[in-house]
Copies of this chain bind each other. A is one copy, B any other.
Amino acid sequence: MTQIVSEAMARSMEASSLIRAMFEEGARLRAEHGAENVYDFSLGNPMLEPPARFREAVAEILGGGAVGLHRYIPNAGLPEVRRYVADTLSAETGLPFGPAHITMACGAGGGLNTVLKALLNPGDEVLSPAPYFVEYDFYADNHGGKLVHAPTDAAFQLDLAALDAAVTERTRAVLVNSPNNPTGVVYPEASLRALADWLRRASERIGRPIFLISDEPYRRIAFDGIQVPQIFPLYEHTIVVTSHSKDLGLAAERIGYVAVHPEAAEGALLGDALVLANRILGFVNAPALMQRVLPLLAGESVDVARYQALRDKMLPALLEMGYECVRPQGAFYLFPRSPIPDDMAFCRLAQEERLLIVPGAAFRGPGFFRIALCVEEAVIDRALPVFERVLAKARG
């Protein structure tokens, strides 16, 4: 249709147009009714402030009189920061991580693109349990690959039989995300252990190692006192991609990293490929000031209890009304079942009441909808009667 924008981009624009239309309608509603009269649960935008130490750390770095802080640095990241990340991972996993296993990345989005650029040949497949963060589709497509998905079970937990049925000779990697966006579920260690065993068998079957890419930006946003299990000790061909968007509240500053298991197949070559991919994709290096900040924030995080409090306010109230919803143990989302099968229609119904939620179809989870708990408690208080009203309307 157009000769200016590339065909791939035109397709991507089409694919994201429904959600975009929703966001535009949200903006229109805010303009017309005032922001306080629009109940916006559509955006997963981490709302908690970085730890207080963050501003001190920046001031210390910039106030120290050091020169050369903002010059180009190695594409892999600052050696001392990679060392810090490696040491932290070693302590958490018991594995011998060194700086060579770490590539600092422009957030998890940047890191995932770097990993897929390094791994994918044209037509290669990345397999992900659904529902999932649909940017994954774009990330795989960017590098000539294809995102393939397999269903999870009724509790959004891993279904190995479904994954097994979806593996082909082109499967290059399985991509998981726990705590999960959009469901908030955490995969327990036994489940990850079974996944690792299955990955070994599937790798053997197709004749090359299937990588496990674990997208972990929500690792530290976990509730009920649980620890999100480490995948590294369970499977050697693991690549963890993460960011500090959520745990340090630095989403827009684009800081994260990619970590490759010390015993991954051809790990040294893969590490070199990641560094080159980081460079030639135009990231060049993760923003340097944010890299320098990280070691000064060791052990710090946003106030995770506040995200738990939002879940604890919202979830029982919705269940009480009659919504069905799996209990999330991390991240900051609820993923309830849509009261009517057509989740798009339900979200449009909600929008008429100025309640903004995202249809599950946008996450390959049709029949559900996503609530992002990135709001003040008062917004929940005001929104609960609206959720009740919309449910009544949906039930007609």
Chain A residues close to B by CB (< 8 Å): 2-10, 12-13, 16, 43, 45-47, 49-50, 55, 58-59, 62-63, 67-73, 106-107, 109-114, 117-121, 124, 135, 138-139, 142-144, 208-209, 245, 249-254, 265-266, 269-270, 272-273, 276-277, 279-285, 287-290
Contact = CB atoms under 8 A, between A and B. Distances in A.
B283 A283 contact: yes
A221 to B, nearest CB: 15
Given A70-B249, A71-B46, A252-B285, A118 B5 contact: yes
Contacts of A43: 72
A50 B72 contact: no
A5 B45 contact: no
Contacts of A144: 8, 144
What are the 5 A-B residue pairs with the smallest beta carbon separation, nearest first? A252-B288, A109-B282, A138-B280, A113-B282, A4-B266
B6 A287 contact: no
A244 to B, nearest CB: 10
A142 B58 CA distance: 35
Contacts of A279: 109, 135
B2 A272 contact: no
B62 A55 contact: yes
Given A58-B58, A118-B9, A253 B2 contact: no
A95 to B, nearest CB: 19
A273 B9 contact: yes
A288 B251 CA distance: 9
B109 A284 contact: yes
B142 A281 contact: yes
A107 B284 contact: yes
A21 to B, nearest CB: 13
A72 B45 contact: yes
A12 B280 contact: yes
Given A6-B119, A142-B280, A142-B281, 15 more contacts: A4-B119, A4-B266, A6-B121, A70-B253, A71-B252, A72-B245, A72-B252, A106-B106, A107-B282, A139-B280, A139-B282, A252-B284, A252-B285, A252-B287, A253-B289
Contacts of A45: 71-72
A43 to B, nearest CB: 7
